[in-house]
Amino acid sequence: MAEAGEHKVLFEAEKISKAFPGVRALKNASFTLNSGEIHALVGENGAGKSTLIKVLAGVHTPDSGQVRLEGKPVHFGHPVEALAAGISVIYQEPNLFPDLTVAENVFAGHYPRRKLGLALDWPEMTRVTQRLLDGLAADIGPLTPVNRLSAANRQIVAIARALNMKARVLIMDEPTASLSDREIERLFGIMRQLRTQGVGIIFISHRMDEIFQVASQVTVMRDGEVVGTFLTQAVDRDQLIALMVGRGVGQLYPKTPGVTGDLLLEVENLRLKGHFGPVSLTVHRGEIVGLFGLVGAGRSEVAQTLFGITPAEDGEVRMEGKPLAIHSPTQAIGAGLAYLPEDRQMQGLVLPMTVMENISLAVLRAVTRGRWVDRAGEESLAERYISLMGIKTPGPRQAVAALSGGNQQKVVLGKWLASRPKVLILDEPTRGVDVGAKAEIHRHIDRLAHEGLGVILISSDLPEVLGMSDRVVVMREGRITGELSREAATQESVLRLAFSDTVPAA
Amino acid sequence: MARVRWRDLMGVREVGLLLVLLGLVLVLSVAAPGFLSWPNLSGVLVNVSVVAISAVGMTMVIITGGIDISVGSILAVSALLVGQAAKAGTGLWQAIALGLLIGAALGGINGLLVAYGRIPAIIVTLATMSTYRGINFILSHGAWVVGLPPYFTALGQTNFLGLQIPAWIMLGVAVIGWYILTQTRFGRSVYAVGGNMQGAYLAGIKIPRVQFLVFLVSGLLTGLAATVYTARFGLVQINTGMGYELNVIAAVVIGGTSIMGGSGSIQGAILGAIFMGVVSNALVLLRISAFWQGVVVGILILGAVIMDSSIRASMLRAVSIHSIGYRGAAEPTDGRER
Amino acid sequence: MGESGEEGLKMVEKDVLTQAVEKPGDGPPGLALPVRRVLSREMILLGFLLVELIVLSILSPHFLTLYNLLNTTKYFVEIGLLALGLTMVIITAGIDLSVGSNVGMAGIIVGYLWLAGLPLPLAILGGIMVSVLGGFFNGWVITRLGIPPLIVTLGTWTAYRGVAMVISQARPVSGFPEWFYYLGQGTILNIPVQFLIFVAMAVVVHLILSRSTFGRLVYVVGNNPVAARFSGVNVRKVLLEIYTFTGFLAGLSALVLISRTATARADAGVGYEMDAITAVVLGGASIAGGQGSVTGTGLGVVVLSLLRNGMDLAGMSQASGAVLTGIVLVLAVLSGEWMRRRPLRG
């Protein structure tokens, strides 16, 4: 572990553990922030960054471990206590009040009042806000409603708010995600300026170049643990990525060599303005096509467009040579597509309803007699997929909410297999499931490919993509940056395409 | 007082409504010669005053994301008791205070149940609508209150600087309501709670307190409206205020307050009430059967909302956040962590 | 694991966030077992009913007679029919304030079509068609223009009543052919005819909700419209059909009402929407969507109407019934809330 000598320790977390029902989100995570330092926090999705931040910001109380501010132990019972202690969080989408003015947002929760009467002290609010904005070299009027500001200016309002709270620790959660290059430059300028004023900044980003550009130290997290803290000068990008990705490829993934058959799905120049495009790809019978990319690369958006949730503006999709016009999920299902969505609980399941009702949802027509649900048929359908997928449930009439994450995911997979698709799109199929269930899901995917299904596997878990795919397609910022055969796809080659600093010719 | 600028007072929505209103006035002044006379116009203001006074409180409730459908029943109970008190010879000021007190008490009960009982506002006020209505019937024994003393009815019928008192009260309430909503901590918290409840929580705003207070204010102002109502009509029927809540909500919604919470204004609500008043006045002047009123108001509500692109935009945004699955405004954290 | 972090934040904020009208799908984990919850709500209602029966039969010797009980059923059918439609609407996290006005509009259409010389059966058909159209219009505006149901039906609440007023000029129609009164005044084996209609419709709606494909989709849409869409459910179509069907039930309710009172009036059914919503919520349907049943709603309707009838017989005013209605509603919802939260604390 590195120590930046001349700065004093500002904020530290020691051996923090935090468990949620069934999950250990943080395991003995330690983290030290010095004053006047920009400290990057990196890790794959699900590595525990957000949980750590929420502990630091008083949203979660840790199960064990200690948080210290300038050496003194602190216990935050409410985010406001952390705020008062000088710890501010700026989220990717800042928590602002759209109908209120900039000044009111800067003072939210602690509006100054005039000495006499109830009225807000507008002159004071305006003056202080103007001063803060000037300090940030921002050209925003204090009395402008926030809903008229750009994403970048909203970030600046959030920073002004933090400064107004006398923040000594600023936690920035992917602040650059929705900003343009110029806006990012300006944000970095502000961060450097704050650093000279002794503010400690925790900076989360998925963009490696940004981390090397602005941070002096970097802490890597993986699977809820801190892997290590390094001076940014002492590491390079590939080392960081290797640390983030972790374990070696190969042993975990039961991919068996299969036979790739005829062309099944062809996508040509698919486009959705503001999200992705043009995107072209093909899937063959029995083939697993890995679709890799970082958050925001547009993978899920492509999948949801293929599935008719956000219909494409342009492009052509053919299944077994026949052109498809897909404007709704119903049509997609009819065409032989199935989509296991990224957000299992919001998009994939009706949590309060039973396993049986969830499995039959996409194929209700298959288990009806006239207008009535054929309960016996539904139950036998459910039981078939419960045993096929190995879902651990007391019975088909168990509410899905009561199952573990892995079993919930198997319910969603079962639902889509019941629709007998030709092409199965899996969006982060193993996110948030335990290791055992993960391996099981991988075996299912392998088996399905052997049975002749075409599979598109979207994942930000690189070893998973490398281990499972016959072919890897890499996306970055809404475009496909390359396609690699199983043999050519290595951590390095894929990441180079996913992270590449230069925009490829599209 | 802060620098009050025209732009702050009149947002896009209010200006739009004002233009429609002016257009209507223009048409009416040609079509109905009697319309543009001061007695007629001031009459319109007086006619809408009762609804407008309640609409000020309702605006605050709706901005927090709530709804109060018990105001009709609160009006009935308050009017009854104020009427009975006035008949028994209470002084004018005592009668006004009584109306405020009863309204505040009934509204406070709503607020307690919503803020601390954590029952959805629509259910709470549905229940109290029934309960307060029942109380009204019990207290009235099914009898009207008639024969109110002249010093009391004078409140509703005296002229002052060309306008009758009820209109002045309405304007006063509107100004105070505007001041509270735009110039005080409480007022700004009302918007914060309705606009971004999670943000309000993270900023340390005491959400239950704000929720309680808006219902209290809604009741309080309805109590005042009841006094004005009683004084103006000089009697209290047993079915006073039936359907009143929906008229009040209509005024607020036509005035541009979003039923989803977070945005809206007192000026808008007053304009909305006046707009409805002008329309019903027009029906009278143009000798269109008063029976058309319901249809017209219904069309106005739907038309106002359909035109309100902000509501539609926010709805669409909400829909797309869910359906596309982006974590945006609804999900400020990256939320994907183990 | 992914959602747990998120869930954790929700759990911290749940206390404040659940105070607002909850959106479907983001309820706390305690929502997981709706069946048990609804059942326990039904138990509470049965308890209420029992207490009600005992107290009222002590207060009035006439109360617990078969004649009185059967007679009572005459008066709740009109609201009961509306409550059946509203049960579906509320399961989808919607609301329909226009049902009472739709009753008035449909009734006036029947009356004036008949007055205009149409044979009564055709007039009845016309009335029903208008009420169905009224429901369809609500659903169309809600699903196509994306306006919240509360606002849409607030608008049509006044508009439909207005249509009735305009057509009738507030003049009632009476003097219908004798056979028509059978619907609202006749009996079969001492049982009021309209009660049988209500039971039949309740059975139908119950079967739809519990056994049919459509009913399944109603709950799916109410619990998680996003997952419904991601699974190929046509959410708009489901909603449109529900509001249209509710319109049909309003038409039926209008027929029963005209027949029982022997007049078609423009102000028929004023305030019915509130009684019907009360019955539905009392019956355990969650205003946040996803939950509700015909059994619960039926019990809610019975509890409400017995309360009013019993108060009447016991020499207390209708008003006491209204007061009690409100109190019972708050208590029922509070106890439901209390039960929902208990397992979270334990």
Over the stretch B289-338, which tens digit does the pLDDT of each residue have? 778 888 888 888 888 777 765 544 554 444 333 332 222 222 222 222 22
Q: From CA B17, how far away is CA B62, in angstroms rounded?
A: 19
Same domain, A260 and A230: no
Whether C227 has its CB under 8 Å from any CB of chain B: the answer is no
Same domain, A314 and A459: yes
Q: From CA B104, how far away is CA B100, in angstroms rounded?
A: 6
Percent of chain C with pLDDT over 70: 84
Would you say residue C321 lies in a domain? no
Same domain, A381 and A491: no
Burial class (CB in 10 A: 0-12, 13-18, 19+), C147: buried
Same domain, A365 and A429: no
Q: From CA B206, how far away is CA C16, in angstroms rounded?
A: 9
Closest CA to C195 of C207, C203, C187: C187
Range of the domain at A389: 351-419
Task: Residue A301: list chain B partners with CB under 8 A.
Answer: 324
Q: Judge contact between A256 and A437, C-beta under 8 A.
A: no
Q: From CA C267, how far away is CA C265, in angstroms rounded?
A: 5
Would you say residue B1 lies in a domain? no
Whether A48 has its CB under 8 Å from any CB of chain B: the answer is yes
Q: Judge contact between C239 and C92, C-beta under 8 A.
A: yes
Looking at the structure of chain C, the number of domains it has is 1
Q: Judge contact between A458 and A377, C-beta under 8 A.
A: no
- B250/C318 CB distance under 8 A: no
The 10s digit of each residue's pLDDT in B240-296 is 888 788 889 989 988 888 888 888 899 999 999 999 899 888 888 888 877 888 888
Assign C271 to helix, strand or coil.
coil
Closest CA to B191 of C337, A147, A63: A147
Would you say residue B312 lies in a domain? no
- Spell out which chain C residues touch chain A, with contact meaning CB-CB distance below 8 angstroms: 1-5, 7-9, 12, 25, 27, 29, 31-34, 207, 211-214, 216-217, 219-220, 223-224, 226-234, 290
Distance from the Cα of A23 to chain C's closest Cα (Å) equals 6
Looking at the structure of chain B, the number of domains it has is 1
Would you say residue A346 lies in a domain? no
Please count the other Cβ atoms lying within 10 Å of the Cβ belonging to residue C191.
13
Whether B191 has its CB under 8 Å from any CB of chain A: the answer is yes
Q: Judge contact between B197 and C16, C-beta under 8 A.
A: yes
Which residue of A lies nearest to B331 if distances are taken between CA atoms?
A93
Buried b / exposed e across B207-229, counting CB within 10 Å, b at 16+?
bbebbbbbbbbbbbbbbbbbbbb
Would you say residue C59 lies in a domain? no
Check residue A46 and give its pLDDT. 67
Describe chain C by its helix, strand, coil percentages, rounded to 5.
75, 5, 20
Q: From CA B142, how far away is CA B134, in angstroms rounded?
A: 11
Would you say residue C44 lies in a domain? no
Q: From CA B79, how far away is CA B81, in angstroms rounded?
A: 6
Same domain, A265 and A241: no
Q: From CA A332, how far away is CA A424, in angstroms rounded?
A: 11
Predicted ipTM? 0.79
Assign A315 to helix, strand or coil.
strand
Q: From CA A402, how far away is CA B150, in angstroms rounded?
A: 69
Same domain, A172 and A315: no
The 10s digit of each residue's pLDDT in B3-43 is 455 555 566 677 778 888 888 888 888 888 888 888 888 88
Query: Mean of the pLDDT values across residues A463-479?
Result: 89
Query: Mean of the pLDDT values across residues C195-209?
Result: 94
User: Minimum mean pLDDT among A165-169, B104-108, C331-335: which range?
Assistant: C331-335
Range of the domain at B107: 43-307
CATH number (domain holding residue A467): 3.40.50.300
Whether C159 has its CB under 8 Å from any CB of chain B: the answer is yes
CATH number (domain holding residue B77): 1.10.3470
User: Minimum mean pLDDT among B72-81, B251-260, C98-107: which range?
Assistant: B251-260
The 10s digit of each residue's pLDDT in A27-60 is 889 999 999 999 999 887 667 888 899 899 888 8
Which of A97, A295, A310 is the closest to B195 by Cβ? A97
Would you say residue A344 lies in a domain? no
Range of the domain at C207: 77-271
Decide if pLDDT at A326 tops 80.
yes
Check residue A395 and give its pLDDT. 87
Q: Judge contact between A428 and A462, C-beta under 8 A.
A: no
Q: From CA A9, how far away is CA C1, in angstroms rounded?
A: 32
Check residue A445 and give its pLDDT. 92
- C330/B114 CB distance under 8 A: no
Among A185, A214, A245, the domain-final residue is A245
Question: Which region holds residue C146: left if phi is over 0, alpha if psi is between -120 and 50, else beta?
Answer: left
Would you say residue C104 lies in a domain? yes
The DSSP secondary-structure symbol of A113 reads B
Q: From CA B41, how far away is CA A405, in angstroms rounded?
A: 66
Q: Let me know the angle formed at the C-alpha of B116 by B261 and B97, rounded to the nearest 5 degrees.
A: 80
Same domain, A162 and A14: yes
Full DSSP string of A58-74: TSS--SEEEEEETTEEE
Among A194, A211, A245, the domain-final residue is A245
The 10s digit of each residue's pLDDT in A433-451 is 777 788 888 989 999 999 9
Would you say residue B14 lies in a domain? no
The subunits that touch chain C, with at least 3 C-beta pairs less than 8 Å apart, are A, B
Would you say residue C236 lies in a domain? yes
Distance from the Cα of A483 to chain C's closest Cα (Å) equals 28
Which of C5, C207, C229 is the closest to A309 by Cβ? C229
Q: Judge contact between B234 and B143, C-beta under 8 A.
A: no
Check residue A276 and give its pLDDT. 86
Distance from the Cα of A119 to chain B's closest Cα (Å) equals 5
> Which residues between 54 and 83 in chain B have a beta carbon less than 8 angstroms from any beta carbon of chain A?
none
Would you say residue C4 lies in a domain? no
Check residue A206 and give its pLDDT. 75
> Using 50, 70 and 90 to split pLDDT, how confident is the model at C4?
very low
The 10s digit of each residue's pLDDT in C50-78 is 888 888 788 777 777 777 777 788 888 99
The 10s digit of each residue's pLDDT in A267-303 is 999 988 878 878 999 999 999 999 988 767 788 899 9
Would you say residue B205 lies in a domain? yes
Residue A186 in tokens: 């300006």
Q: Judge contact between A434 and A350, C-beta under 8 A.
A: no
- A95/B202 CB distance under 8 A: yes
Residue C285, amino acid = A
Q: From CA B246, how far away is CA C274, in angstroms rounded?
A: 12
Interface test with C, best of A353, A374, A407 (most C CBs within 10 A): A353
Would you say residue C265 lies in a domain? yes
Would you say residue A415 lies in a domain? yes
Whether B334 has its CB under 8 Å from any CB of chain A: the answer is yes
Q: Judge contact between A11 and A69, C-beta under 8 A.
A: yes
Check residue C6 and give its pLDDT. 35
Mean pLDDT of chain C: 81
Residue A6 in tokens: 């001349």
> Using 50, 70 and 90 to split pLDDT, how confident is the model at A250?
very low
- A91/B332 CB distance under 8 A: yes
Residue B71 in tokens: 């105001």
Whether C148 has its CB under 8 Å from any CB of chain B: the answer is yes
Check residue A137 and give its pLDDT. 81
Distance from the Cα of A222 to chain B's closest Cα (Å) equals 10
The number of residues in chain B equals: 338
The 10s digit of each residue's pLDDT in B193-215 is 998 888 888 888 899 999 999 99
Residue C139 in tokens: 């659903």
- A122/B332 CB distance under 8 A: no
Q: From CA C90, how far away is CA C221, in angstroms rounded?
A: 11
Looking at the structure of chain A, the number of domains it has is 3
The subunits that touch chain B, with at least 3 C-beta pairs less than 8 Å apart, are A, C
Same domain, A183 and A265: no
What are the φ/ψ torsions at residue A288 (nearest 5 degrees)? -105, 115
Same domain, A58 and A162: yes
Query: Mean of the pLDDT values across residues A343-350?
Result: 88
Would you say residue A4 lies in a domain? no
The 10s digit of each residue's pLDDT in B314-327 is 544 443 333 322 22
Assign C80 to helix, strand or coil.
helix
Q: From CA A426, how far away is CA A411, in angstroms rounded?
A: 13
The helix/strand count (H/E) of chain C reads as 14, 4
> Which residues between 54 and 83 in chain C have a beta carbon less than 8 angstroms from any beta carbon of chain B?
none
Would you say residue C52 lies in a domain? no
Which residue of C lies nearest to B288 if distances are taken between CA atoms?
C166
Would you say residue A3 lies in a domain? no
Would you say residue A77 lies in a domain? yes
Task: Residue B179: list chain A partners with CB under 8 A.
Answer: 119
Closest CA to A329 of A416, A242, A445, A409: A416
Interface test with B, best of A97, A111, A272, A345 (most B CBs within 10 A): A97
Which of C7, C27, C229 is the closest to A329 by Cβ? C229
Please count the other Cβ atoms lying within 10 Å of the Cβ belonging to residue B88.
9
